[in-house]
Amino acid sequence: MVILCVDGSGHAANVDPARGHGHLLTRAYLPADFDQQVFDELWTTWEEPLRARAAAAGVDERRRMAMDRYGLTPHPDDPSRSLQYVVDGEGRWTMSCLACHQGQVRGRVVPGVPNSNYALETLTEEVRLVKVRQRKRFGHMDLGSLLLPLGTTAGTTNAVIFGVALMRHRDADLNVVQRPPRFDLLHHDMDAPAWWHYRKRRSLYADGFAAKGHRMLMQFLLVKENGPEQFAAWEDEFRDIEAWIAALEPPPWEGAIERSLAARGADVFAAHCADCHGTYGPGGSYPERVVPIDEVGTDRIRLDALSARDRGDLNATWFGHHGADARGLEDRAAADGYVAPPLDGVWASAPYFHNGSVPTLWHVLHPDARPMVWRRTPTGYDAARVGLEVEELADLPAENLTTARRRQYFDTRKPGKSAAGHDFPAALTEDEKTAVLEYLKTL
Ligand code: HEC
Ligand code: HEC
């Protein structure tokens, strides 16, 4: 399908969503992260008994084990490769947008569902160990992770701060400029949002400050190897990628739905939730409301991590057509809260809230019952509570955990990881909560 569209700069272009999907799967926009030889030796860095199991396994089985460990899913055309990395003819693996933005639900890939298993920091650390042994050069991720945390809990990343740190060294036209690094960065891990919301949003990100457009999607390419000419040269490919993202549909709930219960839930939702989250079905509307932090009460570090200046500066660069794309969003620079996100396909995008701190919709509806510490099973789905199948704990296990294992536990007491807030469901009776839970499956 080819669509003629006019973007913010008045540029008319032929865009093609299918081609965009192809770019995501095949184009390496960054320098390679590691090669096949490194990937195939990663198991040698693992703790026992996993290492012994890998040693006894064949090469295909070992690759599968490696993908499980780092939260990758096999490529449908070639299961020895991962969907989240582009592999070139010489076996070099390069991270793509899909690393964070393509995960699975119940072990099945659903287009646009965030990758809530991705263990970027563990992967990077173990890659570095193997590279030292194989006397290979460090790449930008290997070095970057020495300067800043990449993601302290599996399934979430410090992606927002990567962007802030990289923008520090660019001017508004994306020329590389020498500036001392920033020392005021507030590191925090984010859960990537579902891509099928893109079409409904007028702005991007949890606080809704960023102008929407194909250029804004290119921030992830800000390594020093990519200069302003390179960004311009890739623009058309990102028009296609944007079109693919904007064409994604939320996945329908896969189980049974109790219709009369869901209908009651729809009424409760209309009375208690729709003001912020909008209405669904034919004629539905989405208000994209920014809710002040004191009212929503969820973790505030994401909000504090960006200054009004950081927000305004980003929109004023090439990424926002030097301010043109952000018309109407000026008040968002001084953002004081989070956008109430659309809830289409919400059953599939667990965990919840911008920091991914709440494992199921039942826990969203029961603020007092949210676990202090939780760990998901690798691909388990909790159909009753609607979300991740988890083990709930009052504290981290007493045994000495390796760093890789510790990152599998979501500890809500850590900075940026609070599961508090969004107490709005407290106004509902238990029956009303059960009905709303059923209704949420239908969105
Ligand atoms: C390292 C993980 C990571 C990678 C790689 C990544 N993203 Fe994201 N992306 C995120 C996170 C986290 C957010 C949420 C940021 C926020 O809300 O502040 C996000 C937000 C977005 C959004 C906004 C969605 C919304 O509803 O607000 C879009 C669109 C997007 N990314 C597209 C891309 C594209 C295109 C690429 C590749 C060029 C990419 N991302 C690469 C982690 C990543
Ligand atoms: C006053 C506005 C407001 C009301 C009322 C409200 N919400 Fe929310 N909701 C928000 C905001 C803001 C967020 C994002 C919080 C964050 O990410 O930190 C949110 C997040 C959520 C999420 C998580 C979405 C995701 O993808 O992570 C769910 C589910 C949700 N709300 C359901 C409900 C339900 C059900 C009701 C009614 C009982 C409701 N909300 C009432 C503002 C509201």
The torsion angle over the Cα atoms of residues 320, 326, 327 and 328, rounded to 10 degrees, is 170
CA of 115 to the centre of ligand 1 (A): 11
Mutational pocket test of ligand 2: of 275, 362, 424, 432, the residue with most ligand atoms within 8 Å of the beta carbon: 424
pLDDT of amino acid 14: 86
Confidence of residue 181 (pLDDT cuts 50, 70, 90): confident
Number of other CB atoms surrounding residue 182 within 10 Å = 12
Least confident span in 308-312, 355-359, 387-391, 413-417: 308-312
Task: Give the CA count within 13 Å in the CB-facing half-sphere of 374.
Answer: 25
Instruction: Report pLDDT digits (tens) over 127-140.
Output: 999 999 999 999 99
pLDDT of amino acid 44: 98
Mutational pocket test of ligand 1: of 217, 298, 332, 346, the residue with most ligand atoms within 8 Å of the beta carbon: 217
Counted residue by residue, the chain has a size of: 443
- Taking the CA of 357 as reference, the closest ligand is 2
> CA 377 → CA 352, 390, 392, 400, distances in Å?
16, 6, 11, 20
Instruction: Report pLDDT digits (tens) over 208-254.
Output: 999 999 999 999 999 999 999 999 999 999 999 999 999 999 999 99
Mutational pocket test of ligand 2: of 191, 280, 296, the residue with most ligand atoms within 8 Å of the beta carbon: 296
Nearest atom within ligand 1 for CA of residue 197: 26
**Averaged confidence pLDDT in the chain:** 94
Average confidence (pLDDT) over 394-410: 93
- Are 120 and 134 in contact by the 8 Å Cβ rule? The answer is no
Percent share of the chain, pLDDT over 70: 97
pLDDT of amino acid 330: 83
Number of other CB atoms surrounding residue 273 within 10 Å = 20
CA of 271 to the centre of ligand 2 (A): 14
- Are 125 and 141 in contact by the 8 Å Cβ rule? The answer is no
Residue 4 or residue 294, greater confidence:
294
pLDDT of amino acid 334: 83
CA of 275 to the centre of ligand 2 (A): 10
Q: Report which residue type is found at 137.
A: R
Structure-token pair, residue 268: 């409760």
Q: How far apart are CA 363 and CA 361, in angstroms?
A: 5
In sequence order, what are the residues at sequence separation of 6 or more whose Cβ sits closer than 8 angstroms to the Cβ of residue 14? 2, 3, 4
In sequence order, what are the residues at sequence separation of 6 or more whose Cβ sits closer than 8 angstroms to the Cβ of residue 233? none
Average confidence (pLDDT) over 387-404: 94
- Taking the CA of 241 as reference, the closest ligand is 1
pLDDT at 156 over 50: yes
* Closest residue CA from atom 38 of ligand 2: 425
Structure-token pair, residue 311: 């927000």
Whole-number CA gyration radius for the chain: 22
Burial letters for 54-74: b for 16+ Cβ neighbours within 10 Å, e otherwise? beeeeeeebbbbbbebbbbbe
Q: How far apart are CA 10 and CA 20, in angstroms?
A: 20
Structure-token pair, residue 293: 């932090």
Structure-token pair, residue 384: 């009753």
pLDDT of amino acid 76: 87
- Are 95 and 33 in contact by the 8 Å Cβ rule? The answer is yes
Nearest to 308 by CA among 330, 340, 276: 330
Specify the residue for token string 């390179």.
230
Average confidence (pLDDT) over 186-201: 97
Instruction: Report pLDDT digits (tens) over 1-22.
Output: 445 454 444 455 689 999 999 9
pLDDT at 370 over 60: yes
Phi and psi at residue 378, to the nearest 5° = -55, -50
Residue 442 or residue 330, greater confidence:
442
pLDDT of amino acid 29: 97
Average confidence (pLDDT) over 386-415: 95
Specify the residue for token string 């504090």.
304
pLDDT at 180 over 90: no
> CA 359 → CA 223, 293, 367, 370, distances in Å?
33, 21, 12, 8
CA of 291 to the centre of ligand 2 (A): 9
Number of other CB atoms surrounding residue 404 within 10 Å = 20
- Are 382 and 442 in contact by the 8 Å Cβ rule? The answer is no
- Are 120 and 101 in contact by the 8 Å Cβ rule? The answer is no
